[in-house]
Amino acid sequence: MLELLEEDFGIPEFALSNAFIGFPAEPKKSAIALCEWASQANDPARALLAWARKNHRGTFRLDVAGEEE
């Protein structure tokens, strides 16, 4: 799926994987909408990663496993 998003929106796969990686994965419809939004920015990869950082998604996800103790 990441390859298709890269092809359709011109966002590098590296940025896509960092924004959408994890469990549970970002829903497909949500990922497509986010890519549409990010593609309108001057730097779509940076916009997508900023969204992921702000919303704690992908590689910026908070690790809640250690908080259960």
Local confidence band at 63 (pLDDT 50, 70, 90 cut-offs): low
Query: Domain tally for the chain?
Result: 1
Q: Are 49 and 18 in contact (CB under 8 A)?
A: yes
CA angle, 48 as apex, 7 and 30 as ends, to 5°? 75
Closest CA to 11 of 31, 25, 27: 31
Q: Is 0.95 surpassed by the pTM of this model?
A: no
Tell me 24's DSSP state.
S
pLDDT (tens digit, 9 = 90+) per residue, 15-42?
999 998 876 777 889 999 999 999 999 9
**Upstream peptide bond of 44 is cis (omega within 30 degrees of 0):** no
65 pLDDT higher than 70 = no
Instruction: Report, as an integer, the average pLDDT of 52-59.
Output: 91
65/31 Cα distance (integer angstroms): 25
Range of the domain at 43: 2-68
Least confident of 10-14, 50-54, 56-60: 56-60
